[in-house]
Structure 1
């Protein structure tokens, strides 16, 4: 069983951070859709929005992802926890896969290296926020703290 911190004191900060990432992605998607409207869905033109290269397909996907992240950040339960963990993994995997095809015709989302770097940063931040924004009853949080500060755990930490 993983030991995710429950009711972490910095949880509101992590929710705001994931919400800001979602807002950036949403604005990027809307801006990119306005720029690329009428072009082919998977076009490879040189369109840039907010510092990232885009096409119509990437812009539309960004609108959906941004909205989903904002919804996850606005919920008080564990929905945001699971959404951030999933989104972090999706961003990391997508950026690595598309980095491997940057200079080929398989670059269907029209990524550039700056888009890869931003996607990796967003993925790492979302993964980190997902690790620390789990919610649970006070008893579960207390049990997690007791496990973390148990005398046996102290012995292992000193080694």
Structure 2
């Protein structure tokens, strides 16, 4: 059974951080749409938005994904928790897939190494925020705290 902290005192901060990641992605996508307007969907020219290479398809996906992350960050229940966890995994998987096809014709989203690095960093951030923003009843939170204390006392020397 996974033991993710419940009702962590800093969960609001983690949701704000996740919301800022979503806001950056949304703004990146909007700037990318403006920059790539009039080009083909999967163009591989040297278009940049906020320092990252992009094309129209990647910009449109970024707008949609930024909105989803911002919605997930603003939800108070555990749906936002699961959305952050899922977004983190999606960022990490997409970053690794795009890294593997970087110098090939399969690089349809016009990624560069910088875009891969940013994707992996955002994946780690949203995954971490998802791990600490779980909400539950106080008795579940207390049960989780007791479990962690018991587990740490079993492994501590002495």
Place the TM-score, normalised by the shorter chain, in its bin.
Answer: over 0.9
Q: Does 1:24 align with 2:40?
A: no
Cα distance in structure 1, aligned partners of 2:31 and 2:139 = 46
Q: Separation in 2 of the partners of 1:144 and 1:104?
A: 47
CA–CA distance in 2 between the matches of 1:39 and 1:21? 27
State yes or no: 1:122 paired with 2:156: no
1:8 paired residue number: 8
Query: What residue is the counterpart of 1:156 in the other structure?
Result: 155
Q: Which residue of 2 aligns with 1:59?
A: 59
Pairing of 1:11-90 with structure 2 (within 5 A): 11-90=11-90
CA root-mean-square deviation: 1.1
The whole-number CA distance in structure 1 between the counterparts of 2:91 and 2:64 is: 14
TM-score when scaled to structure 2? 0.97
User: Structure 1 length as normaliser, TM-score?
Assistant: 0.96
How many matched pairs? 158
- Structure 2: stretches of 5+ with no match in the other structure: none
Q: Which portions of structure 1, spanning 4 or more consecutive aligned residues, are displaced by more than 4 angstroms?
A: none
* d(CA) in 2 for partners of 1:146, 1:71: 32
1:123-156, Cα deviation, whole Å (9 max, x unpaired): 0011101111100001100110011112x64022
Q: Distance in 1 between matches of 2:30 and 2:79?
A: 25
